[in-house]
């Protein structure tokens, strides 16, 4: 495709409101009625943005706010220890005072998209193979979130250890592999061994989680909706 992943996602966001996208999918399911070669760039963008295989994720990081004010309410003695004409209490107006804490906190929001990359319908849309090293795995991608500041082995391993996949009412499965691809707008590919967690369309919910620092991101998928030409596509 000529359009990059980032441009396709932007196209979906600019073209139609999320609720309108969901209603459009429910009404038509173009992936079932049209050949992949006839899918438009707008349809592909929607498939990669808001669909049974693509979910928006939002996380928030909070940090305490500290006042920059120098007024602690407690006078400090001037260097001479003697009162001055303008400061009869003996304090130095130019002395530095310790800042004090202020109630409240500042919040930084992060917003991205999680796509179930190993699904046959997504592969048909992207027309490209998955990166090497993900054989026999469910592969999900995360776009738009700065999960790691580098693509070093240690950075990717840190992302892997905090990335989980869980079928409802079962123990979570830790990711087996993580790769970063910057060719398509900083996409993180996260893989989970299929044999370790079989998924069926009868399963009520599959939950993907990962962390950025102390910020938790969660994407929930419904297998009964992830059907492509009548078959579960994961």
pTM for this entry: 0.72
Q: Is residue 90 part of a domain?
A: no
Quick check: helix, strand or coil at residue 232?
A: strand
Q: Is residue 71, in this structure, part of any structural domain at all?
A: no
Cα separation, 217 vs 55, in Å, equals 11
DSSP three-state, residue 180? strand
Buried b (16+ CB within 10 A) or exposed e, 2-30: eeebeebbebbbeebeeeebeeebeeeeb
The structural domain count of the chain equals: 1
pLDDT in tens, 189-222: 999 999 999 999 999 999 999 987 678 889 999 9
Q: What's residue 108's pLDDT?
A: 78
Rounded Cα distance between 181 and 202, Å, is 33
Q: Among candidates 209, 161, 156, which has minimal Cα distance to 182?
A: 156
Residue 79 lies in a domain: no
Residue 46 lies in a domain: yes
* Average pLDDT rounded to a whole number, residues 141-146: 85
Q: What are phi and psi of 198, to 5 degrees?
A: -60, 140
Give me the domain span that covers residue 221: 5-62+107-232
């Amino acid at each position: 495709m000529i359009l990059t992943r980032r441009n396709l996602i932007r196209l979906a966001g600019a073209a139609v409101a999320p609720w309108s996208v969901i209603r459009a999918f429910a009404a038509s399911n173009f992936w079932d009625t049209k050949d992949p070669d006839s899918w438009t760039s707008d349809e592909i963008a929607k498939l990669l943005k808001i669909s049974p295989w693509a979910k928006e994720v939002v996380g928030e990081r909070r940090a305490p706010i500290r006042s920059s004010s120098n007024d602690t309410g407690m006078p400090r003695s001037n260097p001479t220890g003697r009162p001055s004409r303008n400061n009869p209490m003996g304090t130095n107006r130019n002395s530095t005072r310790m800042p004090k804490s202020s109630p409240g906190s500042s919040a930084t929001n992060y917003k991205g998209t999680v796509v179930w990359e190993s699904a046959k319908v997504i592969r048909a849309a992207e027309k490209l193979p998955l990166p090497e090293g993900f054989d026999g795995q469910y592969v999900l991608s995360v776009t738009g979130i700065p999960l790691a500041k580098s693509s070093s082995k240690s950075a990717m391993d840190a992302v892997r250890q905090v990335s989980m996949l869980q079928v409802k009412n079962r123990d979570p499965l830790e990711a087996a592999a993580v790769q970063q691809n910057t060719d398509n707008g900083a996409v993180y590919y996260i893989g989970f061994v299929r044999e370790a967690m079989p998924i069926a369309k009868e399963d009520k919910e599959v939950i993907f989680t990962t962390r950025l620092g102390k910020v938790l991101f969660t994407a929930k998928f419904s297998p009964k909706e992830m059907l492509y030409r009548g078959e579960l596509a994961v």
